């Protein structure tokens, strides 16, 4: 699957309607973003069951603010509407592929339990 452009109009729907969504926060003027783009696009073709989205932080400043993006590129991974990874910096292809494989292998029941415990601690 090719990468898809994410905007404030389709972001929530994309996250809500797909099991795994990778999001690359980038900008046209960003050198590391331009270097990472072909790697991201290539890996997206290998994982048709995941959505690989791109958020142009210049055009989608509201989304960038909502997620506290301070450095680009920043990569986020959502599984079942839960952010399971967020890190700035470009990755080599092997590291990105390894990350996608690890994200797919996560036991989301365990993740949901951990999220619930954390939320309970914060609410107490």
Residue-number span of the structural domain to which 82 is assigned: 4-123
How many domains would you assign to the chain? 1
Does 124 have pLDDT greater than 80? no
Does 1 have pLDDT greater than 70? no
Q: Which residues neighbour 22 within 8 Å (Cβ) at sequence distance 6 or greater? A: 40, 44, 50, 51, 52, 53, 75, 76, 77, 78, 100
Neighbours of 68 (CB within 10 A): 8
- pTM (2 d.p.): 0.93
How confident is the model at residue 48, as a pLDDT? 93
Query: Which amino acids are annotated catalytic?
Result: 30, 33
Give the span between the Cα atoms of 86 and 55, in whole angstroms: 14
CATH of the domain at 49: 3.40.30.10
pLDDT one-digit tens code per residue, 44-93: 999 999 999 999 999 999 999 999 999 999 999 999 999 999 999 999 99
Burial tier of 62 (Cβ tally within 10 Å: 0-12, 13-18, 19+): exposed
pLDDT one-digit tens code per residue, 16-31: 999 999 999 999 999 9
Task: Give the CA angle between residues 104, 107, 112 to the nearest 5°.
Answer: 115
């Amino acid at each position: 699957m090719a990468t898809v452009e994410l905007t404030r109009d389709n972001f929530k729907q994309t996250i809500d309607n797909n099991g795994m969504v990778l999001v690359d926060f980038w900008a046209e003027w960003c050198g590391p973003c331009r270097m990472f783009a072909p790697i991201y696009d290539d890996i997206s073709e290998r994982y048709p069951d995941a959505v690989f989205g791109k958020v142009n932080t210049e055009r989608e400043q509201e989304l960038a603010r909502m997620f506290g993006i301070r450095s680009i590129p920043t990569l986020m991974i959502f599984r079942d509407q839960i952010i399971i990874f967020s890190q700035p910096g470009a990755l080599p292809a092997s590291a990105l592929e390894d990350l996608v494989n690890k994200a797919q292998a996560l036991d989301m029941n365990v993740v949901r339990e951990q999220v619930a415990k954390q939320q309970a601690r914060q609410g107490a």
